[in-house]
Structure 1
């Protein structure tokens, strides 16, 4: 009886392992295509051993029995589904090739064996060396491709328009190459969620056709290119858009106000362009109902980066609509008017540097202030540094230089302060505070009316520099000397 049960168990386990083996074994044609693909590439064996270990020979497996229980030792060189960087489906078709940073070089030709792996769903050749190679036009022969990553690999030339025919495409990463020419239309890629074409040499303008109808698109990064023309309004209201990064291009013109019903956009970066006119009110209506972001699930805050443009007019009161404003950077524009009081509730970074903002800093920093960087330098602000700024216990950087403030030294500031710039104002009085700033690394109080000695400020990190100064850190009316 025991022998019969043992025999049945052995047959059962053999049958299970046989089914698993047959179900997962690489098909012969798939192995052939992979070996042909390997022959097309050059690879640095000192960086990666992955392609070196691909081998046409070898058996699939070996069965051994221990106490009537079968065990199986795989010979990885036999079944290409077991090769490093390869993943197969249950039928033995290759569905994934993942080879980032493996010292690969060479050229992907139009007749490459790659395009015969028609079940391929994911391809990652990022951080390799395909310098002087153009992206081939044959990717439409991979109808199941959902993820394509060719970033940081030296590709040059135009982006093939055939990429826009990949109807299953979810993620496209082509950043940090040498790509030129216009951006093709992707409106057939209805499943597209993430497109990153940043840090290239792309040119031309955008139209409403480029991303029309892409209801799942959550991230567009076209930054650091040479794109021009005006920015299509529909980009701001794509149904799932969370992150829109168009900085460091040559976009021009005025962005007109449009009607917003709902939007999930919480990161907007248009900095480093030539956008003019007033800030449209709808920018700060984009975030009225934030859903859980897809790209940073633990970040429930808004970021607006509009620095280095040609924006004019006042900072609109509609900015107060934006909930959970984390970073607002409007620096280096031509904005005027006063600072809306609600801005003091910005959570991390408030940067209005290099505008024509006037009036006083609102004295409304709350006891829950979490501001880390506060920069209103190079404006036309007057009055005093508000006492409530002392509520910002996390403040690391404060720059109010080149304004018309008239006040004594702001002793109320956070003990964790690292950078303090008060230069070119009308600050006055003795440099004497009851507390010190042990982490302060940069202090600029030049071109003011301070008197006294610097070492009375009790700044331990700068004291050694002061004591070595021939002037003992003494101040005159216009400069601070060490």
Structure 2
């Protein structure tokens, strides 16, 4: 839900409309509707836009003193009609725009006129079936706080990744999952650290990135969410990840990580989600867990983690998912795990655990338990 935070905040601040919609802006919105192809039986917003009502009352439209500042056309079954001549690019006061979860049929590139929307702070074009090169116009939206172009068929060559982000110094959330970037660690990491000092959310899954992860990334002190799944790092996880004081989520599954995972990352007080799965050569062991840790999801499946489960795992009172499938753990299952009352999912199959199974009767939320292929009695 993080990618929508700014848009929702805008709605909450400007939700009360004190002035009627400017007539020219209402005309532009109606022109936009008429030029878009959308499924009227599935639309919940566009289909209701009409001349008889003030446009500031239309669903998906947010106004401030009669000016249209927000447009949310998420999941409106739009399938075409957006090009450089669109009236959309005449809505000069737009601050928030979402065209996410529509279907431009992978036959439409992102229009090059986006730089006309100079006031945009939130832009979400995710899962909209755009294709081709990301235009240089996006790099000119210098007020952007959130940029989401993920899950399309996009690539970065000219401009490349460095050029795209070098002027976006206000950016706090960057989502480019699935965008073909194809850059080594010393390029993409240094581009991020030199251009985006306020970055909190970094999501670059399936971007054809390679490693090692450069030490320059440690300069992004505000990082909270790191999602780098499905890349080709062929390198260890850096120890400096444990220095991110606001880290809540670290996901790097299937990214060819190796070496020993830093135990200190498990102990970051704010960490809620850790997913290291399907990194066959990644080794490590579990540390002693502090009291009242924040960890909710711990997924190590398909790694080479080994050793025993510490009894201090019972300190993770809000842990809801443990997945240790096909690791190399040994020893007994600590009785303290039976006190994890929020636990919903437990998979420790295909290890070398032995001894008795704790009584999980206190775990009222537990829906999935997999213990097979161990030495349990």
Is 1:26–2:22 an aligned residue pair?
yes
For the structure 1 residues 354 and 234, does the alpha-carbon distance in structure 2 shift closer, same or farther, using more than 3 Å as the test? farther
Preserved contact between residue 251 and residue 274 of structure 1 (Cα < 8 Å) = yes
Stretch deviating more after TM superposition (165-174 or 182-191): 182-191
What is the deviation of 1:125? 1.9
What is the aligned partner in structure 2 of residue 241 from structure 1? Answer: 223
| 1:126–1:392 CA distance, 2 compared to 1 (3 A) | closer
CA deviations over 1:286-305 (Å, ceiling 9, x no partner): x23x4xxxxxxxxxx62211
Matched with 2:343 is: 371
Alignment correspondent of 1:202: 180
Matched with 2:204 is 222
The answer as to whether partners of 2:218 and 2:241 remain within 8 angstroms in 1 is no
Superposed, which structure 2 residues align to 1:428-443 within 5 Å?
none
Greater fraction of residues in helix: 2
Structure 1 position 404 matched with structure 2 position 372: no
Aligned length: 350
Could you tell me how far apart the structure 1 residues matched to 2:294 and 2:57 are? 48
Using structure 2 for the length normalisation, give the TM-score: 0.78
CA drift at 1:135: 0.7
SS of the residue 1:252 aligns to: coil
Deviation readout 1:189-209 (Å, 9 max, x if unpaired):
2332333333x3524133221
- Are residues 280 and 321 of structure 1, via their aligned partners in 2, closer, same or farther at CA, if it must alter by over 3 Å? farther
1:95 matched to 2:69 = yes
The alpha carbon displacement at 1:122 in A equals 1.6
Is the counterpart of residue 133 in structure 1 residue 113 in structure 2?
no
Residue 305 of structure 1 corresponds to which residue in structure 2?
275
Structure 2 residue aligned with 1:166 = 141
Task: Tell me what 1:113 maps to.
Answer: 87
SS at match of 1:209: helix
- The partner residue of 2:285 within 315, 321, 338 is 315
CA offsets, 1:393-418, max 9 Å, x none?
5443333322333x2xxxxxxxxxxx
CA contact (8 A) 2:314 2:336 kept: yes
Paired position in structure 2 for 1:154: 129
Superposition TM-score, scaled by structure 1 size: 0.63
SS at match of 1:229: coil
**Distance in 1, Cα, partners of 2:38 & 2:362:** 58
Quote the Cα distance in structure 1 between the aligned partners of 2:239 and 2:339. 35
CA RMSD of aligned residues (A): 3.4
Q: Does 1:361 align with 2:307?
A: no
Deviations 1:410-438 (A, max 9, x none): xxxxxxxxxxxxxxxxxxxxxxxxxxxxx
- Larger relative contact order (Cα-Cα within 8 Å, sequence gap ≥ 6): 2
Q: Larger radius of gyration, structure 1 or 2?
A: 1
Residues 280/237 of structure 1: CA separation in 2 closer, same or farther (3 Å cut): farther
Q: 1:365 to 1:54 in 2, by over 3 A?
A: closer
Distance apart, 1:212 and its partner CA: 4.0
Distance 2:303 2:370 in 1: 17
Q: For residue 369 of structure 1, report the CA deviation from its aligned partner.
A: 4.8
Q: CA deviation at 1:142?
A: 1.3
| Cα distance change of structure 1 residues 234 and 35 upon mapping to structure 2, 3 Å threshold | same
The yes-or-no answer on 1:266 pairing with 2:248 is: yes
Tell me if 1:325 matches 2:295: yes
- In structure 2, which of residues 97, 101, 122 is the aligned counterpart of residue 123 of structure 1? 97
Shift of 1:328: 1.3
- Cα distance in 1, alignment partners of residues 277 and 92 from structure 2: 45
State the match for 1:278 in structure 2: 260
Q: Which residue in the other structure is 1:186 paired with? A: 165
Structure 1 unaligned spans of 5+: 1-19, 57-74, 291-300, 408-482
**Deviation at 1:360?**
3.2
Contact 2:84–2:113 (CA under 8 A) maintained in structure 1: yes
Does structure 2 retain, via aligned residues, the 8 Å contact 1:365–1:391?
no
The whole-number CA distance in structure 2 between the counterparts of 1:269 and 1:33 is: 42
Structure 1 residue 385 displacement after superposition: 1.9
